[in-house]
């Protein structure tokens, strides 16, 4: 029996969009099938310019002597995680993402680091900032447990770096994520998302204005100080650059636009707020609407 007995994916191919998620993940409930997906990765590492692998190559990599049994497991992956092509078989997008998750340690990694003191302090109480990492979550607090930063980082990323380096990585990931969301795309599942600026009541009864978004598809959520909307603005980025403090080189909680912005509510419905902050010695003023758009900004270039 050879590869040709399984027809190439075409009109008879299973439509991925019609597969129930429970059924799709059930197909991975066998160690041989996970090994098959990993065999694709090993083959691609050895042959970077080749995306497909032959039946015999995969079976040899998995080490299964029974050709019929191996074919059965490979067939269970077809449609959702693997597809047939002229050169043999190749991973679908879903199959590639499963491999990515395995490599990242998303489902198996259990890493714990810290706490470690950082060369930074809490803007609320002045005590030292400290970072710790627990099973996929990087968190920065201070000696009084004020929350400064929190982000998910795959366990594989925490194997070699120091905690300081891990904080830098997490900050980069967070900025990239928030920039995507601010532009209307969920950074987790890439569905459309609508960012908002909204008022919330604080524990002490005051009102605060926050940047907020919630994905209706995967339920991922984002919440940050409203000053975040200025982080990706080119005039603000240029200002920090001119002052010799590139945003990418700073801890997120140290940035004035994130932590020290004064807020004035100009209109309630629809919500419109004015943000005022001093970056270095440069005063910055911006007007932001309820959809987190910067309507107007005054960021002098000849100050600071």
Any idea what the CATH number is for the domain that residue 81 is in?
A: 1.10.10
Among the three residues 78, 104, 130, which one is the final residue of a domain in this structure? Answer: 104
Domain presence at residue 205: no
Same domain, 171 and 119: yes
Same domain, 83 and 121: no
Domain presence at residue 211: no
Q: With both helix axes pointing from N to C terminus, report the angle between 31-46 and 55-62 in degrees, rounded to the nearest 10.
A: 110
Same domain, 94 and 147: no
Same domain, 158 and 145: yes
Domain presence at residue 236: yes
Using the predicted structure, report yes or no on whether residue 199 has a pLDDT greater than 60.
Answer: yes
115 upstream amide cis, omega within 30 of 0: yes
Q: Residue 30's pLDDT is what?
A: 86
Among the three residues 104, 123, 140, which one is the final residue of a domain in this structure? Answer: 104
Q: Residue 59's pLDDT is what?
A: 93
Encode pLDDT of 241-292 as tens digits.
999 998 888 888 889 998 889 999 999 999 999 999 999 999 999 999 999 9
3 state SS of 1:
coil
Q: Average the pLDDT over 152-176 and give the result.
A: 87
Q: Residue 3's pLDDT is what?
A: 44
Q: Is 65 exposed, middle or buried (0-12, 13-18, 19+ CB in 10 A)?
A: exposed
Q: Residue 18's pLDDT is what?
A: 55
**Residues counted in the chain:** 304
Domain presence at residue 67: yes
Same domain, 23 and 70: yes
Same domain, 239 and 277: yes
Residue written as token pair 């970077």: 48
Domain presence at residue 303: no
- The count of domains in the chain is 3
Residue written as token pair 């109480």: 125
Same domain, 98 and 114: no
Domain presence at residue 210: no
User: Helical H runs in the chain?
Assistant: 21-26, 31-46, 55-62, 67-77, 93-104, 163-182, 234-242, 256-259
Among the three residues 83, 104, 125, which one is the final residue of a domain in this structure? Answer: 104
Using the predicted structure, report yes or no on whether residue 23 has a pLDDT greater than 80.
Answer: no
Domain boundaries, position 117: 109-182
Same domain, 137 and 60: no
What are the residues whose beta carbons fall under 8 Å from the beta carbon of 29, sequence distance 6 or more? none
Give this prediction's pTM: 0.69
Residue-wise DSSP of 9-32:
SSTTSPPGGGS-HHHHHHTT-SHH
Domain presence at residue 193: no
Domain presence at residue 197: no
Using the predicted structure, report yes or no on whether residue 140 has a pLDDT greater than 90.
Answer: yes
Same domain, 169 and 257: no
């Amino acid at each position: 029996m050879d590869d040709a007995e399984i027809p190439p994916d075409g009109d008879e191919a299973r439509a991925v969009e019609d597969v129930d998620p429970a059924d799709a993940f059930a197909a991975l409930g066998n160690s041989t099938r996970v090994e098959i997906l990993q065999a694709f990765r090993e083959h691609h590492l050895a042959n970077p310019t080749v995306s497909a692998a032959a039946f015999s190559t995969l079976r040899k990599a998995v080490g299964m002597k029974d050709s019929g049994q191996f074919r059965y497991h490979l067939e269970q992956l077809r449609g959702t995680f693997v597809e047939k092509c002229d050169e043999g078989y190749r991973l679908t997008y879903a199959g590639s993402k499963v491999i990515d998750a395995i490599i990242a340690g998303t489902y198996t990694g259990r890493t714990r680091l810290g706490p470690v003191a950082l060369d930074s302090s809490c803007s609320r109480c002045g005590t030292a900032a400290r970072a710790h990492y627990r099973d996929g979550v990087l968190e920065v607090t201070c000696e009084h447990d004020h929350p400064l930063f929190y982000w998910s980082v795959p366990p594989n990323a925490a194997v070699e770096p120091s905690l300081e380096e891990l904080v830098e990585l997490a900050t980069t990931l967070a900025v990239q994520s928030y920039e995507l969301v601010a532009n209307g795309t969920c950074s987790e599942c890439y569905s459309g998302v609508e960012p908002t600026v909204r008022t919330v009541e604080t524990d002490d009864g005051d009102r605060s204005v926050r940047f907020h978004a919630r994905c209706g598809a995967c339920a991922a959520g984002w919440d940050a100080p409203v000053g975040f909307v200025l982080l990706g603005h080119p005039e603000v980025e240029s200002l920090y650059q001119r002052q010799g403090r590139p945003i990418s080189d700073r801890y997120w909680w140290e940035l004035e636009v994130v932590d020290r912005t004064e807020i004035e509510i100009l209109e309630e419905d629809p919500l419109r707020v004015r943000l005022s902050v001093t970056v270095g010695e440069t005063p910055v003023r911006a007007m932001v609407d309820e959809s987190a758009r910067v309507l107007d900004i005054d960021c002098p270039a000849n100050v600071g």
